[in-house]
Amino acid sequence: MFQEEKRDFKKLEAKIAKIKDKKEKVEKLIELGKFYFLNEKYDEAITKFKEAAKIDENNAEIYYNLGIVYESKNLPEEAGHMYTKTLELNPNHRLASKHLEKIVGK
Amino acid sequence: MRQCVVVGLGTFGASVARTLIEKGCEVLAIDEDEEKVKEISEIVTQAVQADATDEKTLRSLGVDKMDAAVVSTGENMEGSILITLLMKELGVKTIVAKAVSASHGSVLRKVGATRVVFPERDMGVRLAESLATPSILEHIELSPEYSIMEVHAPESFIGRTLREIDVRAKLGLNIIAIKRKLPYLTDTGESDFKEDILITPGADEQVADGDILVVIGPNKRIDNLRNL
């Protein structure tokens, strides 16, 4: 099972490496990051979201996802920075403000 | 249903009143400030603008029939001492009073408070502890030597089972629970997590990245765990 999972991740990584279109690449990197996150592979998820942020630095969704992964790893300060960045880019991001309130205090 | 009276509706008192209601208690809230009473009136069972240092007023409000009283008029020392004394004379069994200093607390105890709390002092201690040792999230002292603590799972534990780690034999500690975040996607496809707690986890339970371990044991040994 674990071997199959590993193959799936590698397949996806290889597919994404070939994508030329920036928008599509970011979407796929976010997708893969979420896939890693759901499998509790937090360090790998962070790497993918950071790769996505390098291509599209104004994408609130990427910073929100980074926040969620940092919070899952018990790194509240890093998570707080990411939620703040998310809200700067999208002040209406409901989940980012919910998580930020939880970390910082209402 | 437990009936409680909360006197003084500042940040502390209002928070106590709100939580008691959430826990299913009936709450009578009293303050001299009309605005504060108005603010909490929709939440609590009954909110009254009154002078709680007046015995007749307290009797007319049925305070003598309450199970517990919270006196949170801490800044008004004289008032809080008098109200605590009146609660005692009215026969309220549990009287919790908020103190602003050690001497204030000592007087409150003498006039009948069954428990004195120092929210500012206690919060200061907790804050300092969390800044000094960020890996400790919660600390419940059972005795000067023994505690229950919530600590971040050390890096060296991740991916290993509790049997492999064997903290009981190696460190003389017991892991009584694991707090874990469970990742999921919302209906709209956004990442989020639920917080779960595994009580008395089995020996085959694997420690995951981000786990918080609830550990019981001697303070000195918990310190060793923190340093792993």
B144-184 pLDDT per residue, tens? 888 898 888 988 999 999 999 998 888 889 999 999 999 99
The confidence band for B224, taking pLDDT boundaries of 50, 70 and 90, is confident
Q: Give Cα separations from B170 to B148, B199, B200, B215, B222 (angstroms).
A: 18, 21, 18, 14, 12
Same domain, B75 and B101: yes
Output the six-digit token pair for B124: 């200061």
Same domain, B94 and B7: yes
pLDDT of A33 over the 60 cut: yes
Same domain, B58 and B112: yes
Mean pLDDT, chain B, whole residue set: 91
Same domain, B114 and B158: no
> Could you tell me if B122 and B130 are in contact, meaning their C-beta atoms sit under 8 angstroms apart?
no
The reported pLDDT for the residue numbered A105 is: 75
Q: Is residue B39 in some structural domain?
A: yes
The reported pLDDT for the residue numbered A11 is: 79
Which is higher by pLDDT, B131 or B194? B194
User: Which three-class secondary structure string do you get for chain A?
Assistant: CHHHHHHHHHHHHHHHHHCCCHHHHHHHHHHHHHHHHHCCCHHHHHHHHHHHHHHCCCCHHHHHHHHHHHHHCCCHHHHHHHHHHHHHHCCCCHHHHHHHHHHHCC
Nearest by CB to residue A38, choosing from B183, B210, B212, is B183
Give me the number of domains chain B comprises.
2
Same domain, B64 and B104: yes
The pTM of the full predicted model, rounded to 2 decimals, is: 0.69
CA distance B178 to B167: 14
Q: Is residue B68 in some structural domain?
A: yes
Q: Is residue B124 in some structural domain?
A: no
pLDDT of A70 over the 90 cut: yes
The confidence band for B226, taking pLDDT boundaries of 50, 70 and 90, is low
Which is higher by pLDDT, B116 or A4? B116
User: Which has the minimum average pLDDT: A18-22, B109-113, B194-198, B203-207?
Assistant: A18-22
Chain A nearest C-alpha distance from B183 (Å): 5
Q: What is the DSSP string of B89-144?
A: HTT-SEEEEE-SSHHHHHHHHHTT-SEEE-HHHHHHHHHHHHHH-TTEEEEEESSS
Q: Is residue B24 in some structural domain?
A: yes
Range list of β-strands (E), chain B? 3-7, 26-31, 46-49, 68-71, 94-98, 115-117, 136-141, 146-152, 174-185, 191-199, 212-218
Same domain, B107 and B147: no
For residue B183, how many C-alpha atoms fall within 13 Å in the half-sphere facing its CB? 26
The verdict on a CB contact (< 8 Å) between B208 and A43 is no
The verdict on a CB contact (< 8 Å) between A95 and B208 is no
Interface test with B, best of A27, A48, A74, A90 (most B CBs within 10 A): A74
Q: Which domains, ranges and CATH numbers included, belong to chain A?
A: 2-104 (1.25.40.10)
Domain that holds residue B99: 3-118
Same domain, B7 and B112: yes
Tracing tokens 């001492």 back to the chain, one arrives at B81
Q: What is the CATH number of the domain that holds B147?
A: 3.30.70.1450
B→A interface, C-beta within 8 Å: 152, 181, 183-186, 190-193, 208-210, 212
Q: Is residue B123 in some structural domain?
A: no
Q: Is residue B43 in some structural domain?
A: yes
CA distance B205 to B159: 10
State which of B118, B146, B168 marks the end of a domain: B118
> Could you tell me if B97 and B31 are in contact, meaning their C-beta atoms sit under 8 angstroms apart?
no
Same domain, B84 and B185: no
Same domain, B81 and B111: yes
B39-90 pLDDT per residue, tens? 999 999 999 999 999 999 999 999 999 999 999 997 789 999 999 999 999 9
CA distance B150 to B228: 15
Mean pLDDT calculated for residue range A35-54 = 95
User: What's the burial of A83, exposed, middle or buried (CB within 10 Å: 0-12/13-18/19+)?
Assistant: buried
State which of B85, B118, B151 marks the end of a domain: B118
State which of B86, B118, B150 marks the end of a domain: B118
Chain B nearest C-alpha distance from A21 (Å): 22
